Chain A
Amino acid sequence: MGTAVTLVKDSVPTTRKARSAAPVTKGRRGRRENLAGYLFMSPWIAGFLLLTAGPMVASLYFAFTDYNLFNSPKWVGFDNFTAMFDDPRWRKSVEVTAKYVVIGTPLKLLLALGVALLLAQSRRGQAFYRAAFYAPSLIGASVSIGFVWRSLFSDGAVVDRTQSFLGFHVGGWVGNADWVLYCLVALTVWQFGAPMVIFLAGLKQVPRELYEAAEMDGAGPFRRFWSITLPMISPVLFFNVLLETIHSFQIFGSAYVVSNTYCGPADATLVYTCYLYQKGFKDAQMGFAAAMAWMLLLAVALVTAVLFWSQKKWVHYEEDAR
């Protein structure tokens, strides 16, 4: 699974504070501190240069070349990008991924928030349910669960039978180009436990006095949710939206396993990374794949920027958060 879980906004104020409180120490002591700092940091610095910064630059270069891993890269300008926009399968992969992100992420977060609100109402049994609901987040990305999912959504299996019993027969979702993507959506929604745990922790920090005061003023439950709960947990909501969205752009394993390694039928689950993998590692079109990766990076950066820009309007940070 491996979603990074951190409150990004927190890093900013802390850093700023550290800067104003601690002017760089001067003199021999300062030099010793610098040396110690960089020695402790040396694994990270090596990793950053060798495995992150260097590859990023290389990837940008490859994106403008024709490269099959065996001949040396040949500069082709923007050819990979124009080929990409002309490629119907690439456009399909964008469509599939967008659909997956736009449908799956809000459903998952709504369920996470709903269940967190439910669990927050009672303390008896809360720890048990919290743990049980969280478990799918740990196993959801495994190949095992991919197989289980494939089985449960097959023709004649439990989902199909339940659906037929309710009166709308579809058959197996995994073999059906119109439905198979929803099978993946169901798999991500099933893993709502991770954001739920974070919502729940956020809800615990809302001061009870606020609710009592609101109740005395005659605010109903809906009003209390809208005017107290939602603003108070908006930083946590922002954090969950940001991470879940970025994460779901990058879905790979589940799509690969559930749709039987070829991301079909009819490219119905050809998520972006699945196509990137095919182009890079099956067709050995490293240049094209690198160009695709940079488009993904741009998309993720754009979404991140829009979210950060929009948080001024709806995310409420307490001044004395610390």
Chain B
Amino acid sequence: MSATTTKPPALGRKHTGSLVWHLGALLILAVILYPVIWVIGASFKPSKDIINSLQLFPGHPILSNFKGLADGIADIKIWTFFENSLFYALGSVVGILVSCSLTAYAFARIRFAGRNLLFSLMIGTLLLPYHVLLIPQYVMFQKLQLVNTYVPLLIGKYLATEAFFVFLMVQFMRNLPKELDEAARLDGCGHLRIYWSIVLPLCRPALITSAIFTFINAWNDFMGPLIYLNEPGKYTVSLGLMMFRDSDGVAANYGGMIAMSLVALLPVLLFFLAFQRYLIDGMATSGLKG
């Protein structure tokens, strides 16, 4: 972040300006955070009060919503969904880190014929709506009898199809000094060695940003699992949540559904609290720097 800040001169006197500023910011904050605080409070309310009670936190908090989760849904342990989501998310992270960094290295540090053409194609896929690929990909995985496995969900991550992360890493690698490569090359290092021992360690911030975004995207992913997984034992948390509602009916166990919604949000919120700098800076700089 640069040190210069845009500060159009304050409109009125300095402290009234600052007071108005904080009031405005706090007001937005309240609206923004309301749904998150609401879901925390609601998960401790009895089902019948969740919608109609305007009290954010119940006078008599109950734990039965969470205890009920231990029984699982339709004979499936809640933990199963979390295990599946964890497998999906971590599998995605590994795939993205390996495949996108290899691709980015080639774009950023190797001069090979056709590089510019491939780079334009890669940028083009950034803007391509995924839905154009949805039907034929499904047909292909169906013919290969891979529907109802995690292969269709994970394979793209191992083949660097998420152009955003390739782009993020290319931008980062381009800014590393070229002298590093040249020195290493004089010492007899090949590309694999330079990639592994020099470029990757220096790219840690970009790798961390990509890893966290990948984890969160996979954790939240809904359409992929909805289309490819059809056996409840393989469901991710997103699908488990839907099943929860479908099996119990909205009114019957509203409390359990809200409690599980909260539990499902926790990993993302924790990641956010721990790594918000990486996420926000990664987001901001990738949009700006060439």
B137 close to A2 (CB less than 8 A): no
Of all chain A residues, the one with the shortest Cβ separation from B131 is: A293
Verify B164–A6 contact, CB threshold 8 A: yes
**B171 contacts which chain A residues (CB < 8 A)?**
6
Chain A CB within 8 A of B51 CB: yes
> CA of A250 to CA of B131 in the docked complex: distance in angstroms?
8
B22 at the interface (CB under 8 A from A): yes
Distance from A297 Cβ to chain B, minimum over Cβ atoms (Å)? 5
Q: Which of A206-252 contact B (CB under 8 A)?
A: 206-208, 211, 215, 221, 224-225, 229, 236, 239, 246, 249-250, 252
For residue A126, give the distance in angstroms from its CB to the closest CB of chain B.
8
Contacts of B242 in A (CB 8 A): 143, 257, 261
- From 112 to 140 in chain B, residues with beta carbon under 8 angstroms from any chain A beta carbon are 112-113, 115-116, 118-123, 125-140
- The interface residues of chain B, by DSSP majority, are classed as helix
Contacting A147 at CB < 8 Å: which of B122, B219, B257?
A: B257
Expressed in whole angstroms, the Cα–Cα distance for A197 and B217 within the complex equals: 19
Whether the pair A151, B51 counts as a contact (CB closer than 8 A) is yes
B133 proximity list for chain A (CB < 8 A): 51-52, 55-56, 59
Q: Mark out the residues of chain B between 260 and 290 whose CB falls within 8 Å of any chain A CB in the assembled complex.
A: 260-262, 264-265, 268-269, 272, 276, 279-280, 283-290
Residue of A nearest to B265 (CB): A144
Interface flag for B11 (CB, 8 Å): yes
A50 adjacent to chain B (CB < 8 Å): yes
List the one stretch of B30-38, B59-67, B72-80 in contact with chain A: B30-38
Which A16-74 residues sit within 8 Å CB-CB of chain B? 18-19, 22, 24-25, 30, 33-34, 36-38, 40-41, 43-48, 50-52, 54-56, 58-59, 62, 69
Bound-complex Cα distance A258 to B77 (A): 25
Q: Is B13 an interface residue (CB 8 A)?
A: no
Q: Give the interface size bracket for B toward A.
A: 35 or more
Determine the chain A residues whose CB is within 8 A of the CB of B264 once the complex forms.
Answer: 142-144
Task: State A41–B108 Cα separation when bound (angstroms).
Answer: 11
Q: Among residues 193 to 215 in chain A, which have CB atoms less than 8 Å away from a CB atom of chain B?
A: 193-194, 197-198, 200-208, 211, 215
B156 to chain A, nearest CB (A): 5
**Are A138 and B112 within 8 A (Cβ)?**
no
Q: Which residue of A lies closest to B109 (CB)?
A: A40
B4 in contact with A208 (CB, 8 Å): yes
Interface check A256, CB cutoff 8 A: yes
A115: nearest chain-B partner, CB-CB: B28
**Which size bracket describes the interface of A in this complex?**
35 or more
A225 to chain B, nearest CB (A): 8
When the two chains form their complex, are residues A152 and B288 in contact, meaning their CB atoms are under 8 A apart?
no
Q: How far is the CB of B87 from chain A (nearest CB, A)?
A: 18
Q: Is B201 an interface residue (CB 8 A)?
A: no
Q: Which residue of B lies closest to A280 (CB)?
A: B135
CB closest residue in chain A, given B52: A156
Cα distance, A54 to B161, chains bound together (Å): 13
Docked-complex contact B142 and A246, CB < 8 angstroms: no
Q: At the interface, yes or no: A103 with Cβ under 8 Å from chain B?
A: no
Check A62 against B136 for contact (C-beta < 8 Å): yes
Which residues of B are found within 8 Å of A113, using beta-carbon distances?
none
CA gap between A251 and B219 in the complex, in Å: 17
- Measured between beta carbons, the chain A residues less than 8 angstroms from B1 are 201, 204
Q: Report Cα–Cα, A1/B268, bound state, in Å.
A: 12
Contact A5 B127, beta carbon cutoff 8 Å? no
CB distance from B101 to the nearest CB of A (A): 9
- Name B115's closest neighbour in chain A (CB-CB): A37
Given contacts A132-B33, A290-B135, whether A148 and B126 have CB atoms under 8 Å apart is: no
A143 to B220, CA, bound (A): 7
Query: Which residues of A have CB within 8 Å of B132?
Result: 55-56, 59, 293-294, 296-297
- Chain A residue nearest to B236 (CB atoms) is A143
- Residue in A closest to B195 when the chains form the complex, CB atoms: A40
The 29 listed contacts between A and B (C-beta, < 8 Å) are: A7-B287, A18-B116, A40-B103, A41-B107, A43-B158, A44-B118, A47-B159, A52-B128, A55-B140, A118-B25, A120-B7, A132-B33, A139-B265, A141-B222, A142-B264, A143-B238, A145-B35, A151-B258, A197-B280, A201-B284, A202-B288, A205-B288, A211-B9, A239-B287, A246-B129, A250-B130, A253-B223, A290-B136, A293-B135
